[in-house]
A and B are shown apart, each in its own frame.
Chain A
Amino acid sequence: MYRLPKKKELDQEAIPTTSLADMMFLLLIFFIMTTTLTRVTGFVTDMPSGSSAKQAEQEKTPTVTLQGEDIRFNDQVTTLEDLKTSLKARHLELKEGDGKVVIVAATGNVKYQAYYQTLAVIQSCSGVVAIVSEDVKDTK
C-alpha cells in the first residue's frame, strides 16, 4: 500500500542551495576581474580609393610627406603643430569633395606612431586623407 511521505522526508529531498550563493559570487568576482570596459578612442577616415588618390595628386593638392622622423608639408620641413596651423589656414571644413583631400606619402622607415599622429592632425582639420604608396608613385 502506498504510504504518503512524512514531512521530515520531504524536507530531506530538497536540493541544497546554500552554497549556490558562494559559487555565484566566485563567478562574479571572476567576471569583474577579467572584464575590461574599454572605451574605444580614435578617428574615422574615409580614404578615397586608388583612382581618386591619383586624381587628387594631379590637381596639386596639399601633400604631407613622412620621411623617417621628418614631416614635410608641400616639401617644407615642418612640425605637427605647424602642420595643424597650415591646414587650419586652408579652411578645409568649408571645402567639398576633392578640395578636402590631403595626400599622405610616406617613404623610408616610418613608424605607425608618426603616421597616426599625422593622420589625426589632418582629420582634426577636416581633411580627407589619401594615401600614396611608393608603388603607386612608381607606376606614374
Chain B
Amino acid sequence: MKPLKRHKMPFIPTANLVDIAILLIIFYMACSNFVSQSAAKVTLPKAEALERQKEPLVLVMIDVKGDIYLQGQPVNDAAAVQSGLATLLQDKATEEARMVMFKCDEGVSREVFEPVLSAIVEAGGIIMAVGDSLGKGK
C-alpha cells in the first residue's frame, strides 16, 4: 500500500514585512502635518467653487475666541502679526514665497479679522484665504 503523502505547511515569507512597514511609517511621517494648528479651534467659512491651493509655509490664524496665531504661536494683536510677517517675508522675492495662508473662524467679527488682513498686506504678504468649498471645486 502506498503511504499517504505528508503535505508541508505553506511558508509565507515575512522577512520583508518589517521593511515595508518601515517604509509606510516613513511615508506617513513625511505626509503628516503636525502643524501647530492643533491649539486653536477654527471652523472655516464656506463659499462656492473654491479652488484647490498649494499650502503656503506661512500661516496666520484666528480661532473661534478671536485669538490670533502666527505660525502656530499666539500673538497679541495685528501689529505683532505685521512685524512678525515682515521678518518672515523679508528675503522672499517670489509671489509664491510671499503667500500667507489665512485661516479664520467663520464667526469672528470684523473688528478682529480686518486689522489682521491689513497687517498681512502691509507686511508684503499675499493672502490665501482658506475655506470649505460648497460647490464644485476646480
Contact = CB atoms under 8 A, between A and B. Distances in A.
B113 A120 contact: no
B50 A43 contact: yes
A67 B47 CA distance: 19
A55 interface: no
Nearest to B28: A31
Contact of B17 (A21, A42, A49, A112): A21
Nearest to A52: B121
Contacts of A24: 18, 21-22, 25
A17 B45 contact: no
B28 A28 contact: yes
B50 A133 contact: no
Interface residues of B, number: 50
A110 to B, nearest CB: 4
B130 A41 contact: yes
B118 A35 contact: no
Interface in B1-50: 14, 17-18, 21-22, 24-25, 28-29, 31-33, 45-50
Contact of B106 (A44, A49, A106, A111): A111
Interface in B89-138: 95, 99, 101, 104-110, 113-115, 117-118, 121-122, 126-133, 137
A115 B113 contact: yes
Given A35-B31, A42-B131, A28 B25 contact: yes
A134 B107 CA distance: 20
A109 interface: yes
Given A31-B32, A44-B128, A46-B95, 6 more contacts: A40-B54, A41-B51, A47-B121, A113-B45, A117-B46, A124-B48
- Which 3 pairs from chain A and chain B are nearest by CB? A31-B28, A24-B21, A120-B47
Interface of B: 14, 17-18, 21-22, 24-25, 28-29, 31-33, 45-55, 62, 95, 99, 101, 104-110, 113-115, 117-118, 121-122, 126-133, 137
12 contacts: A24-B18, A28-B21, A37-B31, A41-B132, A42-B51, A42-B131, A47-B127, A106-B114, A111-B108, A111-B109, A112-B104, A117-B46
